[in-house]
Amino acid sequence: PVTAAPLSCRRYVAGGQCKSTAKLEGKVVIITGANTGIGKETARDLAGRGKVILACRNIVKAEAAASEIRAETGNQQVIVKKLDLADTKSIREFAEKFLAEEKELHILINNAGIMLCPHSKTVDGFEMHLGVNHLGHFLLTFLLLERLKQSAPARIVNVSSLAHHGGRIRFHDLNGEKSYNCGLAYCHSKLANVLFTRELARRLQGKSQRICPGLLSFAIGTKVTANALHPGSVHSELVRHSFVMSWLWKIFSFLLKTPREGAQTSIYCAVAEELDSVSGQYFSDCQPAYVSPRGRDDEIAKKLWSVSCELLGIHWD
């Protein structure tokens, strides 16, 4: 048939799909940046399973998204909370209110992100990509980790990107003041997500047992797992800061995943039963994926952890 080739191409672009039907009754999920794109689609799916908190900077858009999801799923436990990852005060206020209101937290999805921003800084003076994509989620996870441990088994899911292959941690110029390229700044921050996941998993695991060399490791310590993922190239608002990329995204939209398709690996990492004890891994299309050599550098991961704590003024053993 004439339509066979386009349909085949479309199926290839769509990539893997989360097949799990796991329910999340009595469980609590936080998703950052859940008012649009893959975050919203992740929230839509998980709202069909349990309680979901949309942690967003734009409350108006978040309330609209939550209202839509409540109407579609019939789940009234879809709640909006203010969170600005570019402001550590906002992050601390969000965590304080959450901990006062919720006694459990089972899944934290660090989804929010920015891309291709002109050089700018967060409220606390961090380069924007590093501050929002890495340091903001680093601090949020730190503040919520004890509640995750108390609620275990629990999961932390960090949305990274294939772009981490182009990143490096420039400790001599983390804020991009000596040289700056918006594309590379994004890559650096996505590499930071992978390294953070790796070091966090190591600290949570204690001892680990590998079932396949270099592939899957089982968490024996806290019963809190941490995994990272690449959602795919998704047709979303992420490229809004670049006129050229926005234009290319429209032209080649048929080669991009829809937000729903892009959310599948986030959903998979959050609920798939076979990942109950898997930690410190990186996924794409709902299966393990290749991590760049820099993303597997344990010494860099440890140094980034230490520097991140220093920048944020926290002590995290």
Distances (CA, A) of 130 to 41, 106, 188: 25, 26, 8
The answer to whether 216 and 281 have CB atoms below 8 angstroms apart is yes
- E strand segments, the chain: 24-32, 50-56, 78-82, 107-110, 154-159, 208-212, 216-219, 224-230, 282-284, 287-288
Distances (CA, A) of 96 to 10, 91, 101: 44, 9, 9
Whether residue 12 lies in the annotated active site: no
State the Cα–Cα distance between residues 120 and 147, nearest whole angstrom.
33
- In which residue are the tokens 């140094």 written? 303
Active-site residue identified among 180, 186, 268, 290: 186
- In 151-287, where does DSSP find H-type helix? 182-205, 243-251, 259-262, 264-271
The answer to whether 305 and 312 have CB atoms below 8 angstroms apart is no
- In which residue are the tokens 């290839």 written? 12
The answer to whether 297 and 195 have CB atoms below 8 angstroms apart is yes
Catalytic residues: 186
